[in-house]
Chain A
Amino acid sequence: MTSPAREYTSVTRVAGPLMAVSGVGDAAYGEVVEVRLPDGERRMGQVLESRLDLAIVQVFGGTRDLDTEVTSVRFTGEPLRMAVSPEILGRVFDGTGVPADGGGAVIPEEVRDISGASINPTARDYPQDCIETGISAIDGMNTLVRGQKLPIFSGAGLPHSRLAAQIARQARVLGDSEEFAIVFGAMGITSEESRFFMGEFEETGALEHAVIFANLADDPAIERIVTPQCALAAAEYLAFSRGMHVLVILQDITAYCEALREVSAAREEVPARRGYPGYMYTDLASIFERAGRIKGKKGSITQLPIISMPDDDITHPVPDLTGYITEGQIVLSRDLHRKSVYPPIDVLPSLSRLMAGGIGKGKTRDDHGPVSDQLYAAYARGRRLESLVAVIGEEGFTPIDRLYLDFAARFEREFIGQNEKEGRTIAESLDLAWQLLSSFPDEELKRIDPTLIAAHVRRGAR
């Protein structure tokens, strides 16, 4: 895209976040435009559809105060780009990548197209470096690895922000002191939530390793459409040009999808489920698939997107499509939250697809996989029995059943539950698991090899 800038004043139609500019013959798809309002204010936009005599443009910052007479539109001939250099660390940008902290413009070392390009699948290095987050429910049973995309599925009022901040604070790779960075992309979150993260980063000294893109709840919704791309362009620069290990937190993907739906509705597109556009899977994939590692490169991008499930419904299109793209999910539970368990991670629907490659002998411990499987099986059975207590009463249970009931309760309290400031090593989490499992007779531990049981269970306090 190298065509020169052209200016038009022929805005013919404005609807929702979109405007139509007529008489434009050569607007390139995806080209950036600059809109000058009657009062001189400037906004940015991007071409969504181009015809021989018409361009349809989405206006970041909204279409308020646009008119069809004076408003002028300059087609820049450029795709959306962002200037990056090492000095973006510690900076705050708005949702479209413009500095918002009063500091000057970034002196570019590189200028990156924010939409990036797909990593050639044959260039990907399979992620297998386990990240210790210090949280038992994650490390023990849903291990996170470098280069993974592992979303947190949450609901209104659940402590997902605290959990994400705790992970950002505690995450480390065993025996490793390489350079790390945090990229935080905020989409439609409140200023209070944003302040919480900023405070966290400041308190732990992480701010100087962080790049923040903030589109808050009262910022124009349409700008959110490019926020994740900006955040990931910065992350790709840090990871693949500067060799850093980057943790990208994106909150809230649901707000992003709603902005997508808004644009789609304004374009009168055929909707798929619940009014969301049919291309939402592809669109989300273009965000999440930017996590990963590349062979022969030092850095990595690990994504921790936060998705709030409307009405805690995991089958809602946003969490549903996300789950099909990401490598697992951490699901927060309102029930556990009510029981005052922090972090309220419901391990049963949670999953880390890359766990098997990151754990085991030589990486964490040889008992890691079997112990995790056994915890799942035992907790699932305990939970099933719990739902029967009200119907048949505790007397109806066999002694073994009662062991499972007790196990489920202790597991929630002692294994899942932990202090917000408490970081447990993986070994500590696994030892704790053995302690809980040792309440069962050995024959019940069907998922664990007897030799492992012999080696470990005796160590736990029976």
Chain B
Amino acid sequence: MSGRIVRITGPVIEADGMRGGRMYEVVRAGNAALIGEIIGLSEETATIQVYEDTTGIAPGEPVERTGASLSVELGPGLLGTVYDGIQRPLEVIRDEFGDFIIRGASLPALDRERRHEFTPQAEIGGAAAPGTLIGTVPEGRFTHAVLVPPGTDGTFLRVSPPGNYTVEEEVACVRTAGGEDLIVSMLQRWPVRTARPIREKMAPSEPLITGQRVIDSFFPMTKGGAAAVPGPFGAGKTVVQHQLAKWSDADIIVYVGCGERGNELADVLRQFPALDDPRTGEPLMGRTVLIGNTSNMPVAAREASVYTGITIAEYYRDMGYDVALMADSTSRWAEALREISGRLEEMPGEHGYPAYLASRLAEFYERAGRVRVLGPTEKTGSVSVIGAVSPPGGDFSEPVTQNTLRIVKVFWALDADLAHERHFPAINWLQSYSLYLDAVRGWWEEHGGPEWDRARKDMMSVLQKESELEEIVNLVGSDVLPEEDKLALLVAGIIRESFLIQYAFDPVDTYCPPQKQYLMMRLIHDYADAGRAAVGRGASSAQVGALPVTGRLSRLGSVPTTEFPTFFGELERRMEEEFGTLGGGRP
């Protein structure tokens, strides 16, 4: 099972004597036993991408085949852990090897010593189909379901009694129809490039609430949906991704920092343990798995990192959880593909990216979805994917953005001009879209209120009107506009400043629950309606703007959530009073 290195060029090496090697099989390359993966075969010769720095490797050194595909370890203990792109536990590596990552450092992803409290749920002699519950293990505040892994099918010959077990110890034994006895432990391995099997995909129906107004109210995401956040540097992609990781109402978050900054990961590690989930009051870190392959870590491991992340997400989905995966940034992943493709001297497609870029992107995003999971009991779970895209020069016509947009249903376009004005989140409301509006309308009308759709459409049309008027204003100034148009500009300003801008660093405004979002929309919508009526009665837009209530509409987001209903009632009353004084009194 071993070959010999014949060529080294950066992260790509070639080895001969590799007959029998399979595509995507993992190998250990060189005397330092660096982890690599076969990405091309030609008779005896295998092309291998290496997940670690190849400096110092020379031709003639051995290559050992492992017979396995690049896989992740799945089991209790994943939550709260920080891994690199090929699931090496970074905190353990630091304890063991120091502050800098040295090569060949290889440690198991799941702690082999730690014992987990297992409670059996399966009956000896009962059917053991893939997805059948064997038992449960508490993992933080979650119930970690130990399931019969895909590919194992038969009846339970043994089920272990309640007790504390390590991940490698037997928890059940399954006798297959063929009479084979398979030992099942809590530790499962799954090849990262293969989607875990499901019963069927379902249409998304419930919004993924993120507490971000422009997202939830204007361009909603669903549980099981796929979204893209493209934007030039400095437009706030990472802050948006962090906000979603912190506040979205998925059960479990998998955050993949793919080719991004080390300090950003340090920031997540600093903040998440200190922040509480607004719904459960538990530390956010307890529901999060972090995959951090920063830009200076090996490029091939960056390519693997998104697959590692989504496989872990699918594993928790199979227990019936709603999982959200953030990938920051898919462009770095695409560039890793390009870099490897270049080293393979493949014929390049657009912008030097390999011709298979589009199909790889599609494959990845297709692993998102709301699904009926395997197993005898009817259960659904979901994986939502939110990918950041970093288009060169902020130009959305480049291949990664365009190929992503062909797949995802939600597009949050980040805008450099908005970011320059410190309008955050800098999501451009004219360019962005969500194709899930019909899917979530029912939810919002039930949980927000009946006016949701009307208020939302009214606000959108005011913003649209503003952009049309801006062209005229830029030519002739705002003085010549009719009063109703001036009012539209006034209202659009309020929507932008009070509703769309949301302060991620303000302790109250950082998370805006749906009910508060709805009441804020109502306030602005009612204000706009009352304003239009007043102008219809002969009032001027300047008079509307001068009402004290106009000023009260600014910084709505900072009003504490618990006080908001009272605040809302008071402001509605004020509005009625103050508008009553305009344009010749009440109609």
Given known A30-B55, A122-B269, contact A329–B339 (CB-CB < 8 A): no
B475 touching A26 by the CB < 8 A rule? no
A376 touching B420 by the CB < 8 A rule? yes
Please tell me which stretch of A83-91, A188-196, A388-396, A403-411 contacts chain B, meaning at least 4 of its Cβ atoms lie within 8 angstroms of it.
Answer: A388-396
B295 touching A315 by the CB < 8 A rule? no
B269 touching A49 by the CB < 8 A rule? no
State whether the Cβ of A270 lies closer than 8 Å to any Cβ in chain B.
Answer: yes
Known: A50-B59, A290-B296, A369-B505. 20 other contacts (CB 8 A): A27-B59, A31-B56, A49-B8, A118-B297, A120-B101, A123-B99, A124-B265, A125-B266, A126-B263, A148-B263, A240-B99, A279-B342, A282-B296, A289-B295, A348-B420, A356-B505, A388-B477, A391-B474, A396-B479, A446-B497
Residues of B within 8 A of A127 (CB): 263
A119 touching B100 by the CB < 8 A rule? yes
Q: Smallest Cβ distance from B226 to chain A, in angstroms? A: 23
State whether the Cβ of B551 lies closer than 8 Å to any Cβ in chain A.
Answer: yes
Q: Smallest Cβ distance from B552 to chain A, in angstroms? A: 11
A to B CB contacts below 8 Å, 7 in the list? A29-B8, A121-B266, A127-B263, A282-B335, A349-B234, A380-B422, A396-B477
State whether the Cβ of B54 lies closer than 8 Å to any Cβ in chain A.
Answer: yes
Closest to B235 in A: A351
- Between B299, B335, B390, B554, the greatest number of chain A beta carbons within 10 A of the residue's beta carbon is seen for B335
B295 touching A325 by the CB < 8 A rule? yes
Give the top 3 A-B pairs by smallest Cβ distance, nearest first: A315-B393, A396-B477, A285-B295
Closest to B479 in A: A396
Complex: A380 Cα to B395 Cα, angstroms: 22
Q: Smallest Cβ distance from B261 to chain A, in angstroms? A: 7
- Between B100, B338, B390, the greatest number of chain A beta carbons within 10 A of the residue's beta carbon is seen for B100
Residues of B within 8 A of A356 (CB): 505
Please tell me which stretch of B90-98, B170-178, B211-219 contacts chain A, meaning at least 4 of its Cβ atoms lie within 8 angstroms of it.
Answer: B90-98
Interface residue ranges of A234-269 to B (CB < 8 Å): 240, 269
State whether the Cβ of B352 lies closer than 8 Å to any Cβ in chain A.
Answer: yes
State whether the Cβ of A281 lies closer than 8 Å to any Cβ in chain B.
Answer: yes
Q: Smallest Cβ distance from B246 to chain A, in angstroms? A: 15
Complex: A25 Cα to B99 Cα, angstroms: 35
Given known A279-B339, A357-B267, A392-B475, contact A1–B56 (CB-CB < 8 A): yes
State whether the Cβ of B7 lies closer than 8 Å to any Cβ in chain A.
Answer: yes
A315 touching B395 by the CB < 8 A rule? yes
Residues of B within 8 A of A148 (CB): 263
A282 touching B299 by the CB < 8 A rule? yes
B233 touching A115 by the CB < 8 A rule? no
State whether the Cβ of A278 lies closer than 8 Å to any Cβ in chain B.
Answer: yes
Q: Smallest Cβ distance from B398 to chain A, in angstroms? A: 9
Residues of A within 8 A of B416 (CB): 349
State whether the Cβ of A177 lies closer than 8 Å to any Cβ in chain B.
Answer: no
> Out of A31, A49, A279, A285, which one reaches B296, CB within 8 Å?
A285
Q: Smallest Cβ distance from B65 to chain A, in angstroms? A: 20
A123 touching B555 by the CB < 8 A rule? no
State whether the Cβ of A345 lies closer than 8 Å to any Cβ in chain B.
Answer: no
B263 touching A380 by the CB < 8 A rule? no
A121 touching B100 by the CB < 8 A rule? no
Closest to B269 in A: A122
Q: Smallest Cβ distance from A289 to chain B, in angstroms? A: 4
> Out of A52, A278, A376, which one reaches B352, CB within 8 Å?
A278
A interface residues (Cβ-Cβ under 8 A, vs B): 1, 3, 25-31, 48-52, 79, 115-127, 147-148, 240, 269-273, 277-279, 281-282, 285-286, 289-290, 292, 294-295, 297, 314-315, 317, 320-321, 323-325, 327-329, 348-349, 351, 353-354, 356-357, 369, 372-373, 376-377, 380-381, 388, 391-392, 396-398, 443, 446-447, 449
Residues of A within 8 A of B421 (CB): 348, 376-377, 380-381
State whether the Cβ of B138 lies closer than 8 Å to any Cβ in chain A.
Answer: no
Closest to B352 in A: A272
A121 touching B9 by the CB < 8 A rule? no
Complex: A295 Cα to B94 Cα, angstroms: 11
Residues of B within 8 A of A51 (CB): 6-8, 59
Interface residue ranges of B79-105 to A (CB < 8 Å): 82, 90-91, 93-94, 98-102
Interface residue ranges of B3-46 to A (CB < 8 Å): 6-10
A119 touching B393 by the CB < 8 A rule? no
Residues of B within 8 A of A292 (CB): 262-263
A28 touching B94 by the CB < 8 A rule? no
Residues of B within 8 A of A126 (CB): 263, 266-267, 269-270
> Out of A27, A328, A349, which one reaches B420, CB within 8 Å?
A349
Closest to B270 in A: A126
Q: Smallest Cβ distance from A421 to chain B, in angstroms? A: 30
Complex: A295 Cα to B91 Cα, angstroms: 13
Complex: A269 Cα to B348 Cα, angstroms: 11
B9 touching A49 by the CB < 8 A rule? yes
Residues of A within 8 A of B392 (CB): 273, 315, 317, 320-321
> Out of A123, A271, A377, which one reaches B422, CB within 8 Å?
A377
B263 touching A327 by the CB < 8 A rule? yes
Q: Smallest Cβ distance from A450 to chain B, in angstroms? A: 8
A270 touching B345 by the CB < 8 A rule? yes
State whether the Cβ of B358 lies closer than 8 Å to any Cβ in chain A.
Answer: no
Given known A292-B263, A446-B497, contact A282–B339 (CB-CB < 8 A): yes
Complex: A348 Cα to B421 Cα, angstroms: 7
A52 touching B59 by the CB < 8 A rule? yes
Residues of B within 8 A of A119 (CB): 99-101, 262
A289 touching B7 by the CB < 8 A rule? no
A281 touching B295 by the CB < 8 A rule? yes
Given known A356-B505, A396-B477, contact A120–B99 (CB-CB < 8 A): yes
A28 touching B56 by the CB < 8 A rule? yes
Complex: A271 Cα to B351 Cα, angstroms: 9
B58 touching A27 by the CB < 8 A rule? yes
Q: Smallest Cβ distance from B487 to chain A, in angstroms? A: 15
A392 touching B476 by the CB < 8 A rule? yes
- Between A26, A369, A446, the greatest number of chain B beta carbons within 10 A of the residue's beta carbon is seen for A446
State whether the Cβ of B120 lies closer than 8 Å to any Cβ in chain A.
Answer: no
Complex: A147 Cα to B10 Cα, angstroms: 29
Complex: A31 Cα to B93 Cα, angstroms: 27
Interface residue ranges of B284-336 to A (CB < 8 Å): 292, 294-297, 299, 332, 335
Given known A278-B338, A289-B262, contact A446–B295 (CB-CB < 8 A): no
State whether the Cβ of B162 lies closer than 8 Å to any Cβ in chain A.
Answer: no
Residues of B within 8 A of A321 (CB): 392
A396 touching B476 by the CB < 8 A rule? yes
B352 touching A124 by the CB < 8 A rule? no
Residues of B within 8 A of A123 (CB): 94, 98-100
Residues of A within 8 A of B423 (CB): 377
Contact with A along B333-363 (1 / 0, CB 8 A): 0010011011001101001100000000000
